[in-house]
Amino acid sequence: MGEKTLKRYEPKKKVGLIVVITGGGKGKTTSALGMAVRAAGHGMKVCIIHFMKGDMFSGEFEALERLSPDIEFHIMGKGFYYGIKGDKLLPKQHQKAAKEALRVAEEKMLSGKFDMLILDEINNALSLGLIRLEEVLGLLDKKPPLVHIVLTGRDAHPEVIEKAHTVTETREIKHAFLSGIEPQKGVDY
């Protein structure tokens, strides 16, 4: 950062926040990954668990590998849900993967090793019925006081939103894909 020394802010009271990033627009995972990079810049340890991704390479996987051991990530999902984009797995296969992701999330959250836990696409897994609301709320209830939890994905449940400290909704105004342009490397994946 050059020769200039920047001021560092330290809150008087530290609080582990619950952050929800939801909505129909692009950028939910990207926003959460930006938070992970920011946290790592403060010397914090971050664990990212992908609930729905897993069948297609995305550029962030390589970038996250380079940020290890400050950022650890687990691709737990089976990719697009039954019938979407040619997925042929049975719903129970996706459900089993989502339940395992939830188990790993709880283990990592309670391990004492991480300052931030990002549950990528958990809102989708919940809205699709792959995991139950009680399981997600139960996980949030067990959150250690100083751990930040970020939940991404469309269709965040109202009770998850109610429990959150911060909620951001992305809104799609226009998307290249709807104009017939294929997803582009580095922007869309």
In degrees, rounded to 5, the angle at the alpha carbon of residue 56 between the alpha carbons of residues 54 and 62 is 85
Q: Which fold has domain 18-170?
A: Rossmann fold (3.40.50)
Query: What pLDDT shows up at residue 57?
Result: 67
Query: What pLDDT shows up at residue 58?
Result: 75
Q: Which one, of 54, 32, 37, 14, lies nearest residue 147 by Cα? A: 14
Query: What pLDDT shows up at residue 189?
Result: 74
Please tell me whether residue 21 adopts helix, strand or coil conformation: strand
Please state, in angstroms and rounded to a whole number, the distance separating the CA atoms of residues 120 and 49.
6
Angle subtended by helix axes 91-110 and 133-141, to nearest 10: 10
Query: What pLDDT shows up at residue 149?
Result: 98
Please tell me whether residue 93 adopts helix, strand or coil conformation: helix
Please state, in angstroms and rounded to a whole number, the distance separating the CA atoms of residues 48 and 34.
12
Taking 70 as the pLDDT cut, the residues of the chain under it are: 1-3, 53-57, 78-89
Cα 50 versus chain centre, distance: 6
* DSSP assignment letter at 177: G
pTM of this structure: 0.90
Q: Which one, of 174, 172, 176, 173, lies nearest residue 187 by Cα? A: 176
Query: What pLDDT shows up at residue 124?
Result: 93
Query: What pLDDT shows up at residue 5?
Result: 86
Query: What pLDDT shows up at residue 62?
Result: 84
Query: What pLDDT shows up at residue 86?
Result: 58
Name 57's bridge partners: none
